[in-house]
Structure 1
């Protein structure tokens, strides 16, 4: 029996739902597909019902009222919590899973105990059909929460598009998506530190831009500030185990990121754009260099002081 529940939150997706369903039905490991319709006013529900006539592994749930975008994601989590499945794979309407996605990810979970999440690269396809691969690493590896800190993936940098993550029920516990923010970073940050993370270096899914109406908001002024804010909140919640020195270094990074993003998204005239990009690169480089130097001096201060005294 498969251990993965595929969850598809739906609202007015008549143009894209068939594409997503077909990719989920085409898995080499047949899994239950949970479709949660958030009171669509188009033909999304009817399209899913037609698929149900042909396939017995599609479960359609229609909400009594519209729960909102994030509320519907959390409805999926609530239903997953009540199910016998161990892992949940979210697929937003328009996106696709490649045929071996569920099987290969389950193999990773089966071969590695105490994993909270498995992540992988995905194919990004824009509205003109142009593609590129989005990835955070070029190799497969297991990462503890300490490894995530060392590699700058925590907080929030391991949380990419949700199409490239599968989460375990043991790690999710009672965590839910925050409806006060646009992205899923707060949820991912909570879940990934309840176990180890695994990066599987195989492209297993497709992010189709034409199905994401909120995509452009990710580059808005408020969103980039929100990203820095959620990182800062997560850092504060976890500073006890992160350690003082690492905490201070990450906090400096977050503050600098917020400052630079504020400048980048303000009304800077066009002719200043290139100098600003150069300044951004130099500022990050200098800040890292100064931070590393300060760290070395601090760790070796006793030896340095003795050398000066002598």
Structure 2
């Protein structure tokens, strides 16, 4: 058994699973497991072809299926684990880099890096960290939404986690749109995080069915606002973060409500 496992959740999406496996780069130090909540014979065949572990799980919904992946990696005693969503691509040499960095500092809870977002016209927008740095837990709230290009931790496909630091922490299925944000925030609030300059993965918008259907819904925006209002330490940070999400008219209403609440209390 290797030290790190890559978890690929699957549900009746054999073409995306094959796309990810055929285009991603895995080193010999890696185990890959496909967690299939659709019990698809086609996905099972693909897993066998690419010499992946294959596990049928009960479909409890997208986020709870992620949690099943965490449960599996901890049960099998992997030191590190990461998610790679079907339709995304992991770049060459990244797994080895994750392992090296984890081994160099036992206090690092998770590692994330730069990544590319490939849009529907096949144009790539790069989300990059300007420098390679370790963020201490005490600094997380100061930096969390102060970056020019959105949340600094990126999609789960860009991240790798240390199992011992994760422990009983799981994704929150009651806030499905921001579940990955909250997971990363909770983990980083008491542990060190490493940001890599390396381009770790490619996120294909056209392959993300849930992303495309939920990104601009009212429910998703409300979840984002709640997270931002909770973690932004001052009004300047709040304005910067919200300006990427909402029209100015709504931002002003939210700020008025926040100031009014402070005065009343």
What TM-score do you get using the length of structure 2 for normalisation? 0.82
**Runs of 5+ in structure 1 lacking a partner?**
236-245, 265-275, 288-310
1:195: Cα distance to partner?
1.4
Match of 1:147 among 136, 139, 147: 139
Residues 163-211 of structure 1: per-residue CA shift (max 9 Å, x gap):
1111111221111111122231111111112310111101021111222
Question: Matches of 1:169 and 1:260 in 2, distance apart?
Answer: 33
1:41: Cα distance to partner?
5.3
The equivalent of 2:59 in structure 1 is: 66
Match of 1:96 among 67, 89, 95: 89
Within-5 A mapping of 1:1-310: 2-24=2-24, 26-40=25-39, 43-51=42-50, 55=51, 58-63=52-57, 65-135=58-128, 137-153=129-145, 157-181=151-175, 182-183=177-178, 184-216=180-212, 217-232=214-229, 235=231, 247=233, 249=234, 253-254=237-238, 261=245, 264=247
Question: Matches of 2:140 and 2:199 in 1, distance apart?
Answer: 21
The number of equivalent residue pairs is 248
Given that 2:138 and 2:189 are in contact with CA atoms closer than 8 Å, whether structure 1 keeps it comes out as no
Name the structure where strand makes up a greater proportion of residues: 2
The equivalent of 1:294 in structure 2 is: none
What TM-score do you get using the length of structure 1 for normalisation? 0.71
Residues 39-71 of structure 1: per-residue CA shift (max 9 Å, x gap):
2557323322333xxx3xx210001x3221111
Distance 1:219 1:141, change over 3 A: same
Given that 2:87 and 2:204 are in contact with CA atoms closer than 8 Å, whether structure 1 keeps it comes out as yes
Instruction: Give the match's secondary structure for 2:226.
Output: helix
**Runs of 5+ in structure 2 lacking a partner?**
256-265
Structure with larger Rg? 1
Question: Matches of 1:257 and 1:198 in 2, distance apart?
Answer: 22
Question: Matches of 2:115 and 2:29 in 1, distance apart?
Answer: 21
Instruction: Give the match's secondary structure for 1:203.
Output: strand
* Root mean square deviation, CA, Å: 3.0
Which structure ranks higher in relative contact order (CA pairs < 8 Å, sequence separation ≥ 6)? 2
Given that 2:112 and 2:153 are in contact with CA atoms closer than 8 Å, whether structure 1 keeps it comes out as no
